């Protein structure tokens, strides 16, 4: 059986580092055996179908391909298409997130330890709002991404996981291509 996935490489095509041409990436992934490969935006959001039903194995395969074909050594975070679609219907910040560019979803490599989540949730992050659900976190940052406290490095350090974020606009664009 085949599974549809969203693979999110961390930190490619940001500034001048880790440049990966999306058209070439689609070709290389197809040559590697993935099917119906698509990319969304230039930041490396990859949608593909794989006969492998393990998101972890798909993730590792894409990481290895990025390193071998493009010389880019980055971690990826992978979710099934069903998981990403479900995000749209289960938005814990829907009542307060009025600007989709300031509503972020962080995708974690693993579910953070309960103690780490509890410790983080006890802190005051105002005016930002944080909701953690398993391997994802929703963040509302009313003052914008550049001013936010709940940044990627901050969450990774406190939760002990790899994280990558996409804003609500991007999530909607991704789901439209799934």
Q: Residue 14 pLDDT > 70, yes or no?
A: no
Q: Are 139 and 125 in contact (CB under 8 A)?
A: no
How does 92-108 read in b/e, with b if 16+ C-beta sit within 10 Å?
bbeeebeeeebbbbbbb
Average pLDDT over residues 158-178: 93
For the stretch 107-144, pLDDT in tens is 999 999 999 999 999 999 999 999 999 999 999 999 98
Confidence class for position 10, pLDDT limits 50, 70, 90? confident
- Average pLDDT across the chain, whole number: 91
For the stretch 29-78, pLDDT in tens is 999 999 999 998 777 789 999 988 888 899 999 999 999 999 999 999 99
Q: Are 76 and 68 in contact (CB under 8 A)?
A: no
What pTM does this model have?
A: 0.90
Q: At what angle do helices 114-121 and 152-159 cross, to 10 degrees?
A: 130
Burial (CB < 10 A; 0-12, 13-18, 19+), residue 12, is buried
For the chain, domains (ranges, CATH) are 3-83 (3.30.70.1280), 90-168 (3.30.70)
State how far the Cα of 89 lies from the Cα of 86, in Å rounded to an integer.
5
State how far the Cα of 7 lies from the Cα of 4, in Å rounded to an integer.
10
For the stretch 71-94, pLDDT in tens is 999 999 999 999 999 998 889 999
- Percent share of the chain, pLDDT over 70: 97
- Percent share of the chain, pLDDT over 90: 74
């Amino acid at each position: 059986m085949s599974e549809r996935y969203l693979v999110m490489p961390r930190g490619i095509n940001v500034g001048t580092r880790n440049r990966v041409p999306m058209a070439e990436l689609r070709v290389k992934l197809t040559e590697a055996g993935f099917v119906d490969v698509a990319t969304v935006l230039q930041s490396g959001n990859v949608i593909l179908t794989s006969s492998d039903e393990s998101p972890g194995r798909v993730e590792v395969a894409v990481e290895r391909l990025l390193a071998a074909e493009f010389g880019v050594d980055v971690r990826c975070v992978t979710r099934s298409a069903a998981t990403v679609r479900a995000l749209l219907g289960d938005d814990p910040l829907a009542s307060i997130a009025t600007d989709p560019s300031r509503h972020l979803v962080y995708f974690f490599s693993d579910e953070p330890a309960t103690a780490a989540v509890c410790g983080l949730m006890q802190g005051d992050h105002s005016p930002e709002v944080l909701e953690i659900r398993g391997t994802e976190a929703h963040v509302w940052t009313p003052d914008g991404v550049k001013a936010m406290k709940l940044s990627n490095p901050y969450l990774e350090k406190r939760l002990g996981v790899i994280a990558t974020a996409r804003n609500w606009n991007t999530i909607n664009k991704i789901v439209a291509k799934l």
